[in-house]
Every structure is written in structure tokens, then in C-alpha cells.
Structure 1
């Protein structure tokens, strides 16, 4: 679903800076409160199980964002959706910081989840349009900035907690600063949205309704495939990052410090792969990079799950991170180029990823609670996910 490459517009460089900043901000927001969840739990005086339930319920709101994002973008355009969504998204961070009851926390989490889908879709659409007009694509680097934002946000949150900065002060100051950044972002965004026809050419906005996905069975099937692909990709990525430390601590008896190296290994590999992915796509082509990446990912995940030595597991997670790195940006780019209503493809993509975010931890945790090792439990999720991902991607391409 690649359209013709055209020359960058005069405002593209400024728009690229704005979109890149928003990618970084989105990663920063998510990571700003996660390291301080134990404090949030203690302040509200709830159990860890209740906190987990609130996090799950808040994530479900993201499905509402997935269902509404296509129509909102069609009605108001990506620029307005991104700006309004980002303002509320930043506000939700303050809501979480000020929450003193479970219901207020749930409201903040649900608002964050819903707005994150809207902003995520709008910024990926603008990023894809800008990328398509450049000689070297930028989608992988944009997602690399999101990954970098999560690292920075997590480090700042951890250091703030260690320095004795209160949760409310930390998140309110962060929200205030990020609100100023949103003002900067909004001033440089693209003001005119692109619309893609069935043949990949530009589509007159007035004809978008005539190509509505709801009226084309083939398009509905493609939307389902996009959702499946994103869910499988998230399952591979999430399982490898969230359970990497458990793989070393539970299966090898590694100390907390040593076990954390597995998580760091995967994160470093993925972030490095995203910053180098655009060069690889420009040099070898998107399809070849995709084919090599998925093959490397499968081998690395098998080794990470069953290797008999800690150092082999760590190396395997680095390689798995490199392999996974370019998959999600490519899916986002494909979804952004979905013909017809802008945002329809990204709505399906985010729906699939949100469902995977809810289901994957429960499945891996349930399997790990049995006689299976953590490595075997992760393999039961990641290997089938990789296989389905390949099949679905090929089907979508056809």
C-alpha cells in the first residue's frame, strides 16, 4: 500500500520536528508514572491485585479510542485531533498524580488510555505522510524516539522518587512542562491531511466517504489482518521486555541486578534497531528488511527461551530487540496508508495491540505459574505469535 513518492512540502521539516517531538513526549508520559505505581498503590491504600485490575480496566478504554479515531480524524483532521488529544493526555498525567481514590485513579488511567490511542494514530499518520515524501524514510526513527522517551521518563521518575520528590509534585510539574511542549508541537504540524485511494494515489477528501471501509468486504478483511498483525507484534515485544528479567531470575537464580540486564539488553537492541532501521530500509528495501527481521526474531526468541546459559539469553535478547525493532513501525506505516478514511487502519491496529496488551500478561503469567519454566512460558506465546505474524503479513500483502 505504498503511494507515489512526492517532493517534501515547504513545511515538512518543521512538521517532522513537531511529530518527532510528540513521539518522544508520548513515550515520556507513559513512563513518567509507571515506576511510581507502588507509591500510587500505597497512597490510595489498595492492594496490588486491585491496582492490577484498575490498570487493566483503564487499558480497556483504549478500545473506545480505537473505535472512534477514524471518524474523529475524518471529521476534524489529524492536526486538531493530535493537539486536543495531547492536551487531555497531558492532563490525565496530572489526574493520576492527584488521584486519592480508586475511582479517580481509574478515571485518569482510562482518559490516558483513550487519548493515547487518538494521539498515537494522528502522529503516526502525519509521520507516515512526511516519511513518504522523503528520500530516506523516518518511521523507524520516530518510533525510536518513542522508545527513548520511555527510557528518559523512567529514569526521571526513578530519580525523582529517590530524591524524595512527591508523586504529586513530580507529575504536576511534568504535566505543566509537557503542556508547553504540546503548544510547540501544534504550531508545526501538517495542516492538510492526505487521503489514499485504492490504487495508492491521492484521493479527494470529498470522495473518502465513497470508499468507506465499512462498504468493502475486502477492506474489512484487511483491517482484521492489521489488528492481528499488531497484536502478534505487541505479544512478541511485550513478552520479551516484561518477562526478560524473570527469565534470568526464576530460571537461573540470577540476582535482581543481573536479571535486569536481560530487560536492558532487549530495550537497547530494539532502540538501536529503530534508529538504524530507516537506513536499512533505504538501502535494502522495506520487504527485505522485514523478511530478515522476522527470521532473526524467531531464532533469537527460541534461543532466549531455551538457552542453557545466562550470557546466551542476554545476547539473544539483544538480537531479538534488533529483529522486533522495525516490525511495529512498518505495520504503523502500512496502516497509515490504508485507503479510504484516514485513521481506519490505525484504529484496527490499535484495537489489536490493546487486546494483546490485556491478554498477553495473563497468559504468560498463568503458564509461568505452572511447572513450566519462564522460558518455556514465553516461548508458548512468542513463537506462535511470530508464526501468525508471518502468515498474516503475507496474507495482507496478497
Structure 2
């Protein structure tokens, strides 16, 4: 009985630490995104130039995503998590410094470090979440991603307060940098030791096709789950990177209004992920995701084509609410089968975060020529494809 109680206590502490870390990454990301219009104006960058600057975030993120699995296998997910958050803290400080001195290259470099931390972190904590979900025999990933959304919401709200008080971007980001490092010192110790470390490359792995990442990449179900996550993560990431600017440029509103629309999107994401567990348990993954993709598609279409701010605001909410469950449900579906689950979760995470972090800078290049609102048509296509592939997330028996 005592061993059972100790195990339950450890699971409880690990879960709480993961909730905090998911939220922390959301706060950091939203703090950068909400201030992008001011950063752009300070740097006097065009939309295309801003797209290249943001591409630093994508480059760093790709490096983090692609190296995370091997690092986890060597040192475990907890060590990777600690290293990631330190990179996020340092990158945030560098972005603030670059903005203060109007040095685009320093902002770019800061975003690379920040992005590396984000990419490195997200594979680690999604793996921690999937392992914890199986150990606890409960659906936890939507709630964990709701914590991320809650963090982005808190970060956006804090950013709006900073703007209302006329606090500079630099001071704001330095505060976030210090808070990020401080929270890390409190929370990291409650994560379990060695998660993922047992999956070091071995001779058995070379002879067992079920654990081969190349074999997993060829699985139709895994690829279709990846398509679901790709489309929904692209929709989420595009809003995170471009929604404030798109509202400012497309609807001729003030920066604080653009930030408010971003906050509305994050609120919808948070509500969708918070309520997601109830709907998923009641109706199942496939009907919920099909409905969600329809809501996201309809909402984004209202943003692009109406040209009327109140209707566009309704569209922003539907866009966020509909997009909210694609990523966490995809991760859960990838982890259905215990054999090869770590590799599948890692691969689907890489696909999702590639779309989340790399897709939006490319979208910005199209936005330079056709306008940001019109460029969101490519996001509509991604949502449509995710809806078509939604049957792939049906729970394995």
C-alpha cells in the first residue's frame, strides 16, 4: 500500500510540474508574439524582412526538434527540459536587447536560441506527458496543452498590460526571462528521472522493426495522424506569429486591438482544450475532430473574407476553438500502442512543431506580396486536409 501511495504521489507531483512547464513555455511564446508589431516598427522592418527575422525562430526550433530525441535517449527528458528552459530564458533576453539597440541580427540570433529551447522542450514534455498518461491511465494531454494555452493567454494578457502601462519591449522581455529561469528552479526537480533514457540505441533496435523510426515513418496511420497535427498546428502557429499584425494591417486597428484579438484567439484555445476531455470521452476522437476542423475552417474564412471587425472577432474565436484539440489528440493517438510509442510520439511532435514554427515564417513571405489576411488561405487548406485525415485518430484496439 505504501509503495502504491508513493507512486501516486510521484505521479501527482510530476503531473503538476508538467502543467507548470507547459504553461511556462506558453507565457514565453505569447510574450514575444504580442509585442511583434512594436518590434517590427522599432526595427523598421517590412513584412518580408519580419518574416526572415521570425525565420530565426523556425531555424532554432528545427534544430531543437531534430536533436531532441537523441539527446533524450542519452541524458533523459528532465535534463533536456532544464537545458531547454535556460535557452528560452537567454533567447528572450537577447531579443529584448536586440530590440532596444534596433539590431535586427541580434533579434534574429535571440530568436534562434529561443526557438532551439522551444523545439527541444516540446519534444521532451510531450514525451513526458504521453508516458505519464499511460502510467496514470487517464487522458491528460489535452489538459496539459490547455495549460500551454492558459500560459499563452496569461502571457498575452500580461503583454497587453505592459503595453497599456507603456512598458518597453525590452523591460517586458527581461522580466519574462527572469521569471522563466526562476520558475524552472522550483519545478524541474519534480519531473521523473530518466524518462526516455531507456530507449538508447541498442543492437536489439537494429533487428526489431517495431522500434525503427524509418519503419514508423512508413506507417499510413502515423502519417495521417501527422497530417492532422500538421494542419491544426499550422493554424495555431500562424495565429501565434501573425494574428496581431494581420489585424493591425488588414483592419487598420491599433496595436492594442491586435493584441486583444490574439488574446481572444488564445482564450478560445484554452476553452477548447479545457472542455476537450469531456467531448472526447462522450463522443470520441473522430467526430470531435471533424467538428473542430469545420469550426476552425469557418472561423478563419470569416477573418479572411468579411472585412468587418466584429464578425472577424467571432471568426477568431471559432478559429481558436476549432484548432485547439488537433495537436494533443494527435499526440495521444500516436501513443496508443505501447510498442514504438516513444518513436511515434516523437515523430508526430516533430511534424506538428515543424508546422507550428516553420510554416508561419514562410506564410509571411507570401504575405509580403498578397497581404497577410489573403495569405491565410494556405492555412485554410491545411485545416481542410486535417479534417479529411481525422479518421486516423480513432483509438487503437
Moved more, 80-89 or 170-179: 170-179
Shift of 1:192: 4.1
The residue that corresponds to 1:115 in the other structure is: 117
Quick check: 1:353 aligned with 2:356? yes
Of 255-264 and 95-104, more deviation after overlay is shown by 255-264
Q: 2:84 matched to 1:85? A: yes
> What is the CA–CA distance in structure 1 between the aligned matches of 2:112 and 2:165, rounded to whole Å?
29
Alignment of 1:277-292 (within 5 A): 277-292=276-291
CA shift in 2, pair 1:14/1:205, >3 Å: farther
Match of 2:3 in 1: none
Q: Does 1:385 align with 2:382?
A: yes
Q: Which residue of 1 aligns with 2:94?
A: 95
Cα distance in 1 for residues equivalent to 2:126 and 2:144: 9
1:345-375 CA distance string (max 9 Å, x none)? 4233323433322223333553348xxxx4x
Could you tell me whether the CA contact under 8 Å between 2:286 and 2:391 is conserved in 1? no
User: What is the 5 A alignment of 1:267-306?
Assistant: 267-306=266-305
Task: Report the more deviating stretch, 102-111 or 72-81.
Answer: 102-111
Deviations 1:107-147 (A, max 9, x none): 21101111101111111111222233445422222222222
Alpha-carbon distance, 1:274 to partner: 1.0
Question: Residue 107 of structure 1 aligns to a residue in which SS?
Answer: helix
Whether the aligned pair in 1 keeps the contact of 2:95 and 2:111 (CA below 8 Å) is yes
Does the CA contact (< 8 Å) of 1:231 and 1:356 recur in 2? Answer: no
1:133-172 map, 5 Å: 133-134=135-136, 136-172=138-174
Show structure 2 runs of 5+ residues with no match: 1-5
| Residue of structure 1 in register with 2:62 after alignment | 63
Give 1:276 deviation, angstroms. 0.9
Aligned 8 A contact 1:93 1:171 in 2: yes
Aligned to 2:316: 317
Matched residues in 2 for 1:120 and 1:245: separation?
A: 25
What is the root-mean-square deviation of aligned Cα atoms in Å?
Answer: 3.8
Q: Is the CA contact 1:28–1:149 (under 8 Å) kept in the aligned structure 2?
A: yes
Report if the CA contact (8 A) 2:247-2:253 is conserved: no
Asked whether the 8 Å contact 1:301–1:317 carries over to 2, the reply is yes
- Corresponding position of 1:47: 45
Give the alignment's TM-score, normalised by structure 1. 0.78
**TM-score normalised by L of structure 2:** 0.78
Aligned-pair distance for 1:18?
0.5
| CA shift in 2, pair 1:53/1:179, >3 Å | same
Q: Equivalent residues in 2 for 1:166-185 (5 A)?
A: 166-185=168-187
Distance 2:388 2:136 in 1: 30
SS of the equivalent of 1:137 reads coil
Q: Is the 8 A contact 2:56 2:112 kept in 1?
A: yes
Per-residue deviation at 1:272?
A: 0.9
